[in-house]
Amino acid sequence: MKHHSVAAAALTLLFATATAAAGPGSLSAYSASGKSGQALPVIKETLVAPPDVPAAIHRDYPARVVVQLETKEVVKKIASGLNYDFWTFNGTVPGPLIRVREGDTVELHLRNDPSSHMTHNIDLHAVMGPGGGAAATMTPPGQESVFAFKAMRAGIYVYHCATPPVPMHIANGMYGMILVEPPQGLPPVAHEYYVMQGDFYTTTGYKYTGYTTGAHPTPLLAFDLQKMLKEQPTYVLFNGQEGSLIGDHALHAKVGDTVRLFVGDGGPNLTSSFHIIGQIFDDVQVEGGTLVNHNVQTTLIPPGGAVTVELKTLVPGTFLLVDHAITRAFMKGALGQLVVSGEPQPELYHKVSSGPAPADKAGAF
Amino acid sequence: MGRIAFAMLLALLGSPAYAVARYVKLPAGTFISALAAPNGGPQRVHVAAFWMRVEPATNGEFLAFVRAHPRWQRGRVLPLFAGPHYLAAWRGPLTLGREVRADGPVTQVSWFAARAFCAGEGARLPTWDEWEYAAAADATRRDARRDPARNAAILAAIQASTGSYPGAIGRHRADVYGVRDLNRLLWEWTDDYAAMFPSADSRNPGTGPSLALCGGSALAFFDRTQYALIMRVAALAALRPSEAAPRVGFRCVRNDGE
Amino acid sequence: MKRRIDLVFGFFLVASLWANISAAAAALPDDSIYRIPALRLVDQDGKAFEFASLSGRPRLVGMFYGSCRMACPVEIESVKRIQAAVRAAGGRPIAAILVSFDPAHDTVPMLRMAAAEHHLRGSEFELARPQQGDYRALGAVLGIAWRPLPGGGFEHNTVIALLDAQGRIVATTDGRGKVPTEFVRAVLAREGMPLP
Ligand SMILES: [Cu+2]
């Protein structure tokens, strides 16, 4: 019994690591104290690829949530007919959304794919502890690190790799988000989606061809250090690919739905002026915190920050997600679609007429 | 047909084909390391003349080594010196397999094994200073690190090789000393790599002399734009000496006059 | 004449040491750090021995260099405090050895001076220098590394390891700050002592 209360107090944060990063010292005699979450029911988190989101949590008790992430370096499409060497969590940009409940203990396993070049780690902004976990998860290729933390503050948080050179790991796509639901959960909505903006720096300009090799017949764009240092991206993208939320991949809703978007900015450099053309955000959880603002046209999302926005889709049509620093939307790729289906709502929106302006009226002045 | 016969002949010849490794002499010199001095400022390093292997050690050479020294064979080596990933891509303890080319650079070797291999050819692993000094060169200059195009090309080459085995040795011109493939192909063990101490969260800036490091300081970079080098240090510093990684190989050096 | 006797005596000493080592090595587990390649040491009293001959009883092992003005004296004092804490808790005395990674400067007379300065008795606390063999391998298995600094001295880290009688690492500490209680508990636990 006494042991349990001690354990509960110690829950603040326990970096019981099982890896390489710790020296030979991390042997049994020492880590015995890291067993606190053991009494909690263990739940293995099922992760899904963006823009999808794991199912809402319907628990009213804390759990030990086991999350399995894998860092992978993958060559994938960045824009039509062009590839880029992304560094990722679980092969996607952003990495999967992790969903837990305030009070849960998260046991995070970070595996680094054996074919990686790089060492990787993870810093989750939902963690209160050294490096947000980075100090406990430096993981060479083929290894796995494990650390545990208690999710103490509800909110929507960014996670990212923090291995030197940090800006390059982030610029190559190593970010994602973790949602910590409040104990009472989030109100049910028709749709939840997950979007992250990121800026990318390639040696050739927007939509210009990179180079090909035998191994990479599709042109492969190369990372451009100088452009990153100058903070002049060639691509600004939602979910790591031009067109990731367009056409077949557009977000969908029906007239009258409430849509909840978890929107983050991985950076590394640009702040997003997030806007949906033809919509007003009913609620914005400002900076992902507890302050809720209403009737917002454009919300700022800084690199390493996130917001939850909710909007009611009242009128059918295709609505564009943009960074309203609008060059980025139309000249660098930061464009997505929300397609709302349903009956027209003429009382809310309809076109009256168009054509040549009547000459008589014009002359009447 | 002729090609197959030639391959079989090579296979028959086995280890003797790899017996002599080429070394070239690098003259003594002084350079500014990309690693910061303990006070965060530039660190001027003097390197005495030494001889460096023209190319990294190959799978074929390492196979000959483990044949001659069975205690370094996979399955026999003490776990103290080599972990479970040791030579894991080889088909067997004494078989490379089709994917693993005899003339390709050997990887997944522990620091202990790399040192033993070098000792076996009367050499040693380079110090970090020696490695960095050598790697500052390109085909025409002894210190080409200020050339953004050269740095960009190295970065691009490293990124372009994602997902495949390490490339073949010798695809690029030898550098001004005659050494090949220092920057683009592999992360290479250095003898003192473990003494480049990153703080547990390496984003902490170097905070000056620390008691934990006996007056030394946590790793910091004086030149923060040498990304290929920073990646290299990050990759090496995370490894324990018994660990082996698919991108980590090595080459040996000899003191001048030995 | 005296010299000759020394030589003969030395021969027997070495021969008997070898016998000891091979007998001991056969029994050592795969993860025993006594299985590093042969490493011959000399301590502050001029006594030469094989590192592997230290097996047979639990021991504190670390590395240092004598001209270090900062962490190394702290390390020595820390080892002394651990030994004192074990004694105070009723444990059997635990022997310690720190091996120099700067043999060029840390000669036997230098070791003797350092030992005197810190009041170390060779029977319970040895300062030693490598005489022959690969002492960087010892550092590597202990998690200790060093690099010479251009201005002199070394950049290095500090690890004090508790080895069991077979040479397996039971616990480690960086030797900073107060007495590492967990570490001392680990030492006592090796002997089945009640924990304080
Ligand atoms: Cu990374």
If you measure CA to CA, which chain B residue comes closest to A136? B200
Q: Do B214 and C70 touch (CB under 8 A)?
A: yes
End-to-end alpha carbon distance in chain C: 55
What confidence category does residue A358 fall into, taking pLDDT thresholds of 50, 70 and 90?
Answer: confident
Chain C CB contacts of B128 under 8 Å are 147
**Residues spanned by the domain of B149:** 3-13+23-255
**How close B164 comes to chain A (CA, Å)?**
8
Model pLDDT, residue B205: 54
If you measure CA to CA, which chain C residue comes closest to B212? C157
If you measure CA to CA, which chain A residue comes closest to C168? A24
The full set of domain ranges for chain C reads 30-190
Neighbours of chain A (3+ CB pairs under 8 A): B, C
**How close C18 comes to chain B (CA, Å)?**
20
Model pLDDT, residue B135: 96
| Residue B117 maps to a domain | yes
Q: Which two tokens stand for residue A51?
A: 């823009």
| Residue B18 maps to a domain | no
Q: Do B213 and C71 touch (CB under 8 A)?
A: yes
Model pLDDT, residue A305: 98
Q: How far apart are CA A185 and CA A190, in angstroms?
A: 15
Determine how many CB atoms are found less than 10 A away from the CB of residue B249. 27
C172 touches chain A (CB under 8 A): yes
C170 touches chain A (CB under 8 A): yes
B117 touches chain C (CB under 8 A): no
Please name the residues in contact with B107: beta carbons below 8 A apart, sequence gap of 6 or more.
B89, B166, B186, B244, B245, B246, B247, B248, B249
Ligand 1 center to A87 CA (angstroms) = 7
If you measure CA to CA, which chain C residue comes closest to B115? C137
Q: Do the Cβ atoms of A13 and A128 come closer than 8 Å? A: yes
Please name the residues in contact with B229: beta carbons below 8 A apart, sequence gap of 6 or more.
B34, B132, B135, B221, B223
| Number of domains forming the structure of chain B | 1
Q: What is the dihedral of CA C74, C80, C81, C85, to 10 degrees?
A: 160
Model pLDDT, residue B202: 56
Say whether A20 sits in a helix, a strand or coil: coil
For residue A73, the Cα-to-chain-centroid distance in whole angstroms is 17
Chain A CB contacts of C174 under 8 Å are 25
**How close C65 comes to chain B (CA, Å)?**
10
Q: How far apart are CA A7 and CA B114, in angstroms?
A: 44
User: pLDDT tens, A159-211?
Assistant: 999 998 999 999 999 999 999 999 999 999 999 999 999 999 998 888 777 66
Ligand 1 center to A132 CA (angstroms) = 14
**How close B155 comes to chain A (CA, Å)?**
8
Mean pLDDT across A357-363:
65
Q: Which two tokens stand for residue B220?
A: 């910091």
User: pLDDT tens, B5-15?
Assistant: 444 444 444 44
Q: Do B245 and A134 touch (CB under 8 A)?
A: no
A24 touches chain C (CB under 8 A): yes
Q: Do C32 and B112 touch (CB under 8 A)?
A: no
**Closest to A86 (Cα-Cα) out of A242, A240, A208:** A240
Q: Do C171 and A23 touch (CB under 8 A)?
A: no
Q: Do the Cβ atoms of C162 and C172 come closer than 8 Å? A: yes
Chains A and C: how many Cβ contacts under 8 Å?
31
Model pLDDT, residue C3: 42
Chain B CB contacts of C150 under 8 Å are 37, 43-46
B246 touches chain A (CB under 8 A): yes
What confidence category does residue A293 fall into, taking pLDDT thresholds of 50, 70 and 90?
Answer: very high
DSSP states along C132-186: EE-HHHHHHHHT--EEE-TTSSEEE---EEEE-TTS-EEEEE---SS--HHHHHH
Chain C CB contacts of B115 under 8 Å are 137
Please name the residues in contact with C189: beta carbons below 8 A apart, sequence gap of 6 or more.
A29, C195
Q: Do A30 and C171 touch (CB under 8 A)?
A: yes
Q: Is the pLDDT of residue B174 over 50?
A: yes
For residue C32, the Cα-to-chain-centroid distance in whole angstroms is 15
| Backbone Cα Rg of chain A | 23
B208 touches chain C (CB under 8 A): no
User: pLDDT tens, A116-135?
Assistant: 888 999 999 999 988 899 88
Neighbours of chain B (3+ CB pairs under 8 A): A, C
**How close A27 comes to chain C (CA, Å)?**
6
Of B152, B159, B200, Cβ closest to residue A130? B200
**Cα dihedral across residues A247, A249, A250, A252: positive or negative:** positive
**Closest to A198 (Cα-Cα) out of A277, A278, A306, A276:** A306
Ligand 1 center to A194 CA (angstroms) = 21
Ligand 1 center to B42 CA (angstroms) = 27
CATH number at residue B130: 3.90.1580
Q: Is the pLDDT of residue A3 over 60?
A: no
Model pLDDT, residue A251: 97
Model pLDDT, residue A336: 96
Place of tokens 């990309």: B34
User: pLDDT tens, B136-157?
Assistant: 999 999 999 999 889 888 988 8
Q: Do B80 and C35 touch (CB under 8 A)?
A: yes
Q: What stretch of H or E contains C43?
A: strand C39-43
Going residue by residue through chain C, which has 196 residues, state the pLDDT in tens, using 9 for 90 and above. 344 444 444 444 434 444 444 445 557 898 899 999 999 999 999 999 999 999 998 899 999 998 877 667 888 888 998 898 888 888 888 999 999 999 999 999 999 999 999 999 878 999 999 999 999 999 999 999 988 887 778 888 889 998 988 999 988 888 776 777 778 888 777 766 555 5
What percent of chain A stands above pLDDT 70? 86
Instruction: Identify the CATH class of C30-190.
Output: alpha beta
Q: Do A117 and B231 touch (CB under 8 A)?
A: yes
Which amino acid, A182? P
A187 touches chain C (CB under 8 A): no
Model pLDDT, residue A215: 64
Q: Is A207 exposed, middle or buried (0-12, 13-18, 19+ CB in 10 A)?
A: middle
If you measure CA to CA, which chain C residue comes closest to A24? C143
Q: Do A225 and B151 touch (CB under 8 A)?
A: yes
Q: Do B195 and C158 touch (CB under 8 A)?
A: no
If you measure CA to CA, which chain B residue comes closest to C73? B214
What percent of chain B stands above pLDDT 90? 56
C179 touches chain A (CB under 8 A): no
Q: How far apart are CA B97 and CA B115, in angstroms?
A: 24
| Residue B241 maps to a domain | yes
Which range has the worst mean pLDDT, A317-326, B81-90, C89-98?
C89-98
Q: How far apart are CA C188 and CA C185, in angstroms?
A: 5
Model pLDDT, residue A355: 84
> Which of A210-224, B64-78, B222-236: highest mean pLDDT?
B64-78
C173 touches chain A (CB under 8 A): yes
Q: How far apart are CA C112 and CA A56, in angstroms?
A: 69
Residue A78 φ then ψ, to 5°: -105, -35
Ligand 1 center to C185 CA (angstroms) = 38
